[in-house]
Amino acid sequence: MLSQIFDAFKSRLHDSNSKVNQVALETMHKMIPLLKDSLSPVINMLIPAIVDNNLNSKNPGIYTAATNVIQALCQHLEPSLLLQPLCTKAQFLNGKAKQDLTEKLA
């Protein structure tokens, strides 16, 4: 059930409309403390959706919302759940996104 919900939600995290994209990130930020480790089945799908395009966004609202989501994940989820997906993403990023994710991993 959770994977079906986040499957649909994931496309909002990539939405070409920046307002929709930002609201989706802000909503994700609010959901993380409530769902915590129950997000584990969908974390491998969510990390790329959160990071791709959003951490390198020139839109300050989207960038801030994406960094807030990553911070919330680090605060509320078991670190072992995040290590692999964050390392995988950090390998293939560039620019500010790579720097931000590398700092989180450190």
pLDDT at 28: 96
**pLDDT tens-digit map of 12-50:** 999 999 999 999 999 999 999 999 989 999 999 999 999
Cα torsion for 99, 100, 105, 106, to the nearest 10°? 70
pLDDT at 21: 96
In contact, 51 and 89? CB cutoff 8 Å: yes
**pLDDT tens-digit map of 50-93:** 998 899 999 999 999 999 999 999 999 999 999 999 999 999 99
Cα–Cα dist 93/53, whole Å: 10
Cα–Cα dist 77/4, whole Å: 20
Domain edges within the chain: 1-104
> 1-104, which class in CATH?
mainly alpha
pLDDT at 2: 86
pLDDT at 95: 87
